[in-house]
Amino acid sequence: MTQVTDPVSNSTGSALQMRCIQCGALSPEAKQDMRCPVCGDLLEIIYPEWAATKKASGLDAAALTALWKGRRTSRAAADQSGVWRFRELLPPIAESEIITLREGNTPLYEMPICGRIVGVPQLFAKHQGMNPTGSFKDTGMTAAATFAKQAGFRWVACASTGNTSASMAAYAARGGMHSLVLLPEGKITWSKLSQALDYGSLTCQLKTDFDGCLRILTEVVRRMPVYLLNSVNPYRLEGQKTAAIELLEQFAWQPPDHIIVPGGNLGNSSALGKAVLELKELGIIPRLPRISIIQAEGANPLYRSMKENGGKSLTPVHAETLATAIRIGNPASWKKAVRVLEATGGAVEQVSEVEIALAKAEIGAEGIGCEPASAVTFAGLKKLVKQGFVKPQESVALLLTGNLLKDPDFVLKFHRGELFSGTPEEKAAEALAPRRRTPMVLDATPDAVIRALEAAEKAAQI
């Protein structure tokens, strides 16, 4: 059943509606659990008359891109945000209402060393870990927190593997709201946990996994006046779209052949896909980049679904991976992600724990730190090149989602050779030895340091 309601008008003349991704029902706003009131599936924000209204107001592709570029030198908060700079493609809001930490504006790096390793010279990384709380979540959170506040909520909440909670806690604090965080006990890094605490969240560790936390929170928000800020919230994905918009601007609106992203709850891949489809529809980019999604072998429900039934159904898995950010077995946005794979012609791959650790060390050797979940992109690229899906002459952008400092334990264990000790991967992990730099304890003398320096120099010449 499709129920049609009046769209909500916006200040720039566009109109937005919430549309169910399954039954197509339209509604002016989302319920507390962010699900379709008719069939219970996920909602997405659409702008039905967009192209027409943008043209009527003179905002064609050239005018829009010029407007966004011009804002780079502005002193206004909304313009300094790498999200709200693109506000013509976002839900309407008065500038004074925006909660921003000047998110976005993240660098696009050339990756010559990794490019040589994988045999793809045109390799780039967009580092979303350079956001204010150290992960890509900030681009979505500025949008969703802003609309939570506008809707009058005192409390916002999320279930998280750590980054969403860190981001939500910061934006709630900036917006003068309280925040509730549900985390899988013992399964998130202490850096992420400490961020939520520092920003003042009510932080609850539950004896379950991420999927269990999200299930419980969905029940809580149905019973309490608490605004759900997980990526099932369609406003989050509108904000996260801007990572792709900014990336394509950095490519002068000539898309790379491939964009490669990690897959966890699958909100991010859904958002990036929505962005490229909208930019194509508006005539801002001439063609679509292929968006490919990489999962950890131990948390691979989308990979299995695509291999087993072409993405028609998804069977949840019990997730286990050292890349704790993507330790998710029942991803909420899997249907949206399947649509992105189909619409852009992307691939889905899985990578092992040792492959993730090696890829992370290789990215690190490039002078670019990221967290393990981000490194799946480079590990996955190696496989996609071997399969011939990515060709050596093509251009590739990896999306690095989190900062190195999100998980320093992983780095220390890697370099001390402890990451895989006593695990089935111990043998395979011997391949990582050349990348290890064990921290040394020396006598406090210049001679001891010079001996270490000379030994390192000798080893480098071999």
Residue 282 vs 398, nearer CB to ligand F0G: 398
Pattern 192-231, ligand F0G, x by CB under 6 A:
---------------------------------------x
Q: Identify each DSSP E strand in 107-247 by its residue range.
A: 108-110, 123-127, 155-159, 178-184, 202-206, 226-228
Residue 267 vs 329, nearer CB to ligand F0G: 267
Q: Is 369 in the site for ligand F0G (CB under 6 A)?
A: no
Among 326, 359, 404, 419, binds ligand F0G (CB under 6 A): 326
Q: Is 189 in the site for ligand F0G (CB under 6 A)?
A: no
**What's 424's DSSP letter?**
T
Pattern 397-426, ligand F0G, x by CB under 6 A:
----xx------------------------
Residue 178: Cβ-neighbour burial (10 angstroms; 0-12, 13-18, 19+): middle
Q: Is 134 in the site for ligand F0G (CB under 6 A)?
A: no
Cβ 323 to ligand F0G, closest distance in Å? 8
CA-to-CA separations, 165 to 162, 228, 275, 430, 459, in angstroms, rounded: 5, 12, 24, 35, 44
CB-based burial, 24-58: b 16+ in 10 Å, e otherwise: ebbbeebebbbbbebeeebbbbbbeebeebbeeee
Q: Is 330 in the site for ligand F0G (CB under 6 A)?
A: no
159-178 residues in contact with ligand F0G (CB under 6 A) are: 160-164
Distance CA 372, CA 408 (A): 10
Residue 17 vs 269, nearer CB to ligand F0G: 269
DSSP assignment of 73-102 equals G--SHHHHSTTGGGGGGS----GGG---S-
Q: Is 181 in the site for ligand F0G (CB under 6 A)?
A: no
CB 89 within 8 A of CB 245: yes
Q: What residues have CB less than 8 Å from 217, skipping those under 6 apart?
A: 157, 158, 159, 182, 228, 230
Cβ 363 to ligand F0G, closest distance in Å? 13
SS3 385: helix
Residue 246 vs 371, nearer CB to ligand F0G: 371
Pattern 251-280, ligand F0G, x by CB under 6 A:
-----------xxxxxxxx-----------
Q: Is 238 in the site for ligand F0G (CB under 6 A)?
A: no
A 10 A CB-CB count for 383 gives 17
Cβ 14 to ligand F0G, closest distance in Å? 26
Distance CA 404, CA 4 (A): 46
Residue 125 vs 326, nearer CB to ligand F0G: 326
Residues near ligand F0G (CB under 6 A)? 135, 137, 160-164, 231, 262-269, 325-326, 371, 373-374, 401-402
